[in-house]
A = this chain, B = another copy of it.
Amino acid sequence: MSKAKRLMELIVAVNRKRRFTVKELADEFGVSMRTILRDLQELSELGIPLYSEVGPHGGYRILQERLLPPIAFTEREAAAVFFAVQALRRYSSLPFETETSTALNKFYTYMQEDVRARIDKMRDRVDFITPVRRAQSPHLPVLLDAAIRQVVLLVDYASKQQRGKREIQPIGIYTQGGLWYCLAYCFLRKSFRVFRCDRIDSAVPSDSPPLDLQQIHLGSKEELIRLEEDSVYLYADLSKEGVEACEANPCPVPLLHVFNDGTGRLEGNVERSDIPYFASYFVGLGKEATVRQPKELRAAIRQLLSDLMVRYADEGIVTQE
């Protein structure tokens, strides 16, 4: 690396770390300590406020406030960031609620006039639409913080069946289809579960000792949510349109295979208790999907269809308000 480039990167590195030693930098840049010392002297002459202390635990320090150095964004980069933040604003709840709006504001007000004008023009011409849900998730910051610091929370959760307090150790939070979910270890069920954040009515840190789950994160989601013993093998064929519908509205468990001609198939093991859900799912796909297995699911679909038949059978029953 040329000296000029090294100096530039040195400025960045020195701003990033607030404290550092000569040896540290020498290792990082793969040059000798003598060279780094010469470089640092040069940076000093260039006006970068460096300060050093000798002795053990000594080292260099940069005398500056904690702020990002003047970052040079190109206009297009600024626009991209602006729209990214803008996209997030469509979410009804966020773990960084206020921060996004202040950051957006800073970005906007510091932009130069002409750039701002162009951004304004774009504003009405790009949009990121996310399902708008009424459900609020007010405890996202607490959940995220607990996931990062790995502490146990006592939450008040209203599941479909019942509602009550339970202790959970959050792994992470994610949003999908306009709702927020929290993957966590549930001390009540003694397994990993996914909680809908809008169904969490309160969340406070608990004193219970946390498990050591540092290595577990959202990436391992699929493996954590284990199937119950009682699972059945599902197999369904999909038309081209069926494939698209599945992509748009992914169902949790089974694997989607797509063939070259655009058609595809869904297969995988699903829990027996989820059969009603899948029945509804496949009925929604209409003629674009054909379930081959299991028989139970086909039966459930048949049942659902005939129930619906009844609902839509007799015109005479229709009441109007």
Interface residues of A (CB under 8 A from B): 2-5, 7-8, 12, 15-18, 42, 46, 49, 63-81, 83-85, 87-88, 94-96, 99-100, 102-103, 106-107, 109-116, 118, 121-122, 124-129, 131-134, 144, 147-148, 171-179, 217-219, 244, 247-250, 258, 280-281, 283-287, 290-293, 295, 298, 301-302, 304-309, 311-313, 315, 318-321
Contacts and interface: CB of A to CB of B under 8 A. Distances in A.
Nearest to A49: B74
Contacts of A74: 49, 63-66, 99, 102
B110 A71 contact: yes
A53 to B, nearest CB: 19
Contacts of A66: 72-75, 78, 111-112, 115
Contact of A178 (B67, B247, B281, B293): B247
Q: List the 8 closest A-B pairs by CB distance, nearest first.
A: A284-B284, A124-B217, A125-B172, A67-B72, A127-B174, A80-B96, A80-B99, A84-B84
**Number of this chain's copies in the complex:** 2
Given A81-B103, A122-B144, A144-B122, A127 B218 contact: yes
Given A96-B83, A125-B171, A172-B125, A3 B5 contact: no
Nearest to A306: B309
A307 B283 CA distance: 11
Which of A69, A96, A111, A122: most chain B CB closer than 10 A? Answer: A96
Contacts of A71: 67-68, 70-71, 106-107, 110
Given A68-B70, A125-B217, A100 B113 contact: no
Given A67-B70, A124-B172, 17 more contacts: A12-B110, A66-B72, A66-B75, A68-B70, A70-B70, A73-B106, A74-B99, A74-B102, A76-B99, A77-B96, A78-B103, A80-B88, A81-B85, A81-B107, A127-B174, A287-B304, A292-B319
Contact of A177 (B69, B73, B248): B248
B286 A126 contact: no
29 contacts: A4-B4, A12-B110, A64-B74, A64-B76, A65-B72, A67-B71, A67-B72, A67-B73, A76-B99, A77-B96, A80-B100, A81-B81, A84-B87, A84-B100, A95-B126, A124-B172, A124-B219, A125-B172, A127-B172, A128-B175, A129-B176, A134-B258, A249-B249, A287-B304, A287-B307, A290-B311, A298-B318, A305-B308, A309-B309
B81 A112 contact: no
Contacts of A70: 67-71
Contacts of A12: 109-110
A293 to B, nearest CB: 8
Contact of A77 (B106, B126, B250, B284): B106
Contact of A84 (B2, B72, B81, B284): B81
